């Protein structure tokens, strides 16, 4: 390997079940992980059931309007409590097995057919998980004593805090989609972090983000990490336009830009003039990752009778399908015993940064 190149992770780090388990323990069970938009918990009792690493977590809005998160596990005999996200109709959480109930603050409040004297209910609340919101985006941490979320965001991502100026909390969820890809989550992150593949893999995308035609991700002429969209473009669509209003908080420069951020370990943020796309990675196995994609728009767009985000969603799905295909191809390749390590070029530097963070997390765990 020439001295300018830097090594990727080892092949087994992309394919080994044991290392996958270590990833969950060292990264997903320790770090703040993105779980979804807080507007999905609009009403008292609404719930979000999310997988964080190997754990199922229940996020709820309580009677005071505050968000709470718990392990989704009954204190009686361990049954999982809630199966799916949605409205809780303001009611307590009742276990489907023996109908023990918990308040929205996690207290055990009813134990049918088990006399009150048999147990001290106050001693068996649901196990609590840290949850915090930033700009309408919910993160949970399974760590015992996580740092404040905003400190972590500052440390984990160069760009994300600068998006505060866009007031992402006022945007509305217009579409929610899911996808699955037969590749390790780290391959997806590395693919997101570089654009050397863009000219070859994304012929449509490079039409609207000309910087990517050269495989660059950072516009050297800008200090905000953004890239100019093609002349006349303001949307993440095939022709760069959409029947959607521009996000009201954007400057004329923001409107004509593609802004993006990766928040370690599991969130991609992609912003153009008319949409914000939040992609959450959900690792499922050494060679499988699910995505949940939240499409956000200006509130007036989502509220309008003729709201139609399909131009944005179709284009995003096209680009994602192209990315998924090369990630699956890479997963098949790195699963070969002939693959020891690959290499990162200078313009893959964000991939290198990611792998160093990842290795540090694994070392801290062991
Ligand atoms: S396991 Fe939940 S009530 Fe029995
Ligand atoms: Fe790509």
What is the Å distance from ligand 2's center to 86 Cα? 32
Interval 314-348: pLDDT, tens: 999 999 999 999 999 999 999 999 999 999 998 89
Does the residue 330 lie in any domain? yes
Share of the chain above pLDDT 90, in %: 89
Interval 237-249: pLDDT, tens: 999 999 999 999 9
Query: What is the model's pLDDT at position 260?
Result: 94
Atom number in ligand 1 closest to CA 111? 3
Mean pLDDT on 170-183: 98
Residue nearest to atom 1 of ligand 1 (CA): 77
76 CB near ligand 1 (under 6 Å): yes
Residue 2: which pLDDT band, with cuts at 50, 70 and 90? low
Query: Lowest mean pLDDT: which of 44-53, 157-166, 314-323?
Result: 157-166
Supply 272's token pair: 């153009």
Does the residue 150 lie in any domain? no
Residue 116: which pLDDT band, with cuts at 50, 70 and 90? confident
Mutate-to-test residue for ligand 1 from 75, 81, 92, 95, highest number of ligand atoms within 8 A of CB: 95
Buried-exposed string 129-166: b where 16+ CB fall within 10 A, e elsewhere: bbbbebbbbbbbbbeeebeebeebbeebbebbeebeeb
pLDDT of 96 over the 70 cut: yes
Q: What is the DSSP letter of 92?
A: P
Query: Lowest mean pLDDT: which of 101-105, 130-134, 153-157, 293-297?
Result: 153-157
93 CB near ligand 1 (under 6 Å): no
Mean pLDDT on 180-184: 98
Query: What is the model's pLDDT at position 222?
Result: 79
Interval 11-24: pLDDT, tens: 999 999 999 999 99
What is the Å distance from ligand 1's center to 98 Cα? 5
Interval 185-227: pLDDT, tens: 999 999 999 999 999 999 999 999 988 888 777 777 777 778 9
Residue nearest to atom 3 of ligand 1 (CA): 98
Mutate-to-test residue for ligand 1 from 72, 83, 100, 118, highest number of ligand atoms within 8 A of CB: 100
pLDDT of 89 over the 90 cut: no
Shared-domain flag, residues 40 and 87: yes
Query: What is the model's pLDDT at position 156?
Result: 87
Atom number in ligand 1 closest to CA 77? 1
Does the residue 120 lie in any domain? yes
Q: At what angle do helices 185-192 and 310-334 cross, to 10 degrees?
A: 120
Query: What is the model's pLDDT at position 359?
Result: 97
Shared-domain flag, residues 320 and 299: yes
Contacts of 323-330 spanning 24+ positions with Cβ under 8 A: 323/188, 323/191, 323/192, 323/201, 323/202, 324/179, 324/181, 324/183, 325/201, 326/191, 326/197, 326/201, 327/181, 327/183, 327/187, 327/188, 327/191, 328/181, 328/182, 328/183, 330/183, 330/187, 330/191
Interval 49-67: pLDDT, tens: 999 999 999 999 999 999 9
What is the Å distance from ligand 2's center to 324 Cα? 8
Mutate-to-test residue for ligand 1 from 71, 80, 98, highest number of ligand atoms within 8 A of CB: 98
74 CB near ligand 1 (under 6 Å): yes
Residue 250: which pLDDT band, with cuts at 50, 70 and 90? very high
Q: Which residue has the tokens 């009778």?
A: 305
Q: Which residue has the tokens 């959450």?
A: 280
Shared-domain flag, residues 7 and 80: no
Residue where a domain stops, chosen among 91, 115, 145: 145
Looking up residue 333, the CATH number of its domain turns out to be 3.90.380.10
Exposed / middle / buried, residue 348 (Cβ in 10 Å: 0-12, 13-18, 19+): buried
pTM attached to this predicted model: 0.96
Does the residue 151 lie in any domain? no
Shared-domain flag, residues 285 and 179: yes
Element (H, E) at 303: helix 299-303
**Measured between alpha carbons, how far is 235 from 242 in angstroms, rounded to an integer?**
6
What is the Å distance from ligand 1's center to 145 Cα? 28
Query: What is the model's pLDDT at position 264?
Result: 97
Query: What is the model's pLDDT at position 24?
Result: 98
Domain total in the chain:
2
Query: What is the model's pLDDT at position 3?
Result: 65
Query: What is the model's pLDDT at position 1?
Result: 54
**Measured between alpha carbons, how far is 100 from 115 in angstroms, rounded to an integer?**
12
Query: What is the model's pLDDT at position 338?
Result: 96
**Measured between alpha carbons, how far is 112 from 101 in angstroms, rounded to an integer?**
9
Shared-domain flag, residues 99 and 180: no
Shared-domain flag, residues 72 and 174: no
Ligand located closest to 82 CA: 1
Mutate-to-test residue for ligand 1 from 76, 81, 126, highest number of ligand atoms within 8 A of CB: 76
Q: Which domain holds residue 178?
A: 1-28+157-366
Residue nearest to atom 4 of ligand 1 (CA): 98
222 CB near ligand 1 (under 6 Å): no
Shared-domain flag, residues 19 and 45: no
Residue where a domain stops, chosen among 85, 114, 145: 145
Mean pLDDT on 273-283: 98
Does the residue 152 lie in any domain? no
Shared-domain flag, residues 37 and 23: no
Atom number in ligand 1 closest to CA 98? 3
Supply 105's token pair: 């603050």
Atom number in ligand 1 closest to CA 100? 3
82 CB near ligand 1 (under 6 Å): no
Query: What is the model's pLDDT at position 40?
Result: 96
Shared-domain flag, residues 170 and 138: no
Does the residue 126 lie in any domain? yes
């Amino acid at each position: 390997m020439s001295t300018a190149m830097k090594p990727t992770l080892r092949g087994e780090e992309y394919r080994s079940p044991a290392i996958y388990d270590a990833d969950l323990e060292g990264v997903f069970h320790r770090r703040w992980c993105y779980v979804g938009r807080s507007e999905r918990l609009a009403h008292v009792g609404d719930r979000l059931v999310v997988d964080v690493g190997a754990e199922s977590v229940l996020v709820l809005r309580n009677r005071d309007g505050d968000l709470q998160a718990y392990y989704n596990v009954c204190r009686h005999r361990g049954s999982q409590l809630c199966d799916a996200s949605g409205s809780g109709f303001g009611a307590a959480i009742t276990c489907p097995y023996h109908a023990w109930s918990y308040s929205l603050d996690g207290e055990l409040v009813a134990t049918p057919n088990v006399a009150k004297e048999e147990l001290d209910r106050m001693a068996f609340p649901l196990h609590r998980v840290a949850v915090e919101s930033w700009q309408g985006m919910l993160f949970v941490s399974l760590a015992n004593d996580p740092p404040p979320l905003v400190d972590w965001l500052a440390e984990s991502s160069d760009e994300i805090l600068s998006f505060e100026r866009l007031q992402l909390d006022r945007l509305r969820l217009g579409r929610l989609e899911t996808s699955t890809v037969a590749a390790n989550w780290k391959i997806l992150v590395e693919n997101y972090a570089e654009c050397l593949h863009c000219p070859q893999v994304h012929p449509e995308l490079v039409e609207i983000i000309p910087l990517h035609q050269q495989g660059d991700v950072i516009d050297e002429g800008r200090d905000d990490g953004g890239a100019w969209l093609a002349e006349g473009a303001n949307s993440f669509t095939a022709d760069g336009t959409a029947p959607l209003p521009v996000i009201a908080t954007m400057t004329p420069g923001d409107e004509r830009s593609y802004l993006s951020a990766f928040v370690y370990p599991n969130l991609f943020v992609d912003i153009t003039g008319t949409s914000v796309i939040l992609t959450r990675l959900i690792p499922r196995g050494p060679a499988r990752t699910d995505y949940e994609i939240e499409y956000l728009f200006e509130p007036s767009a989502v509220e309008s009778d003729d709201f139609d985000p399909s131009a944005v969603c179709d284009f995003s799905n096209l680009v994602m399908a192209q990315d998924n295909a090369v990630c699956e191809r890479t997963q098949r390749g790195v699963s070969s015993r002939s693959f020891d390590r690959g290499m990162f070029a200078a313009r893959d530097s964000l991939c290198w940064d990611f792998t160093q963070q990842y290795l540090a997390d694994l070392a801290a765990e062991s």
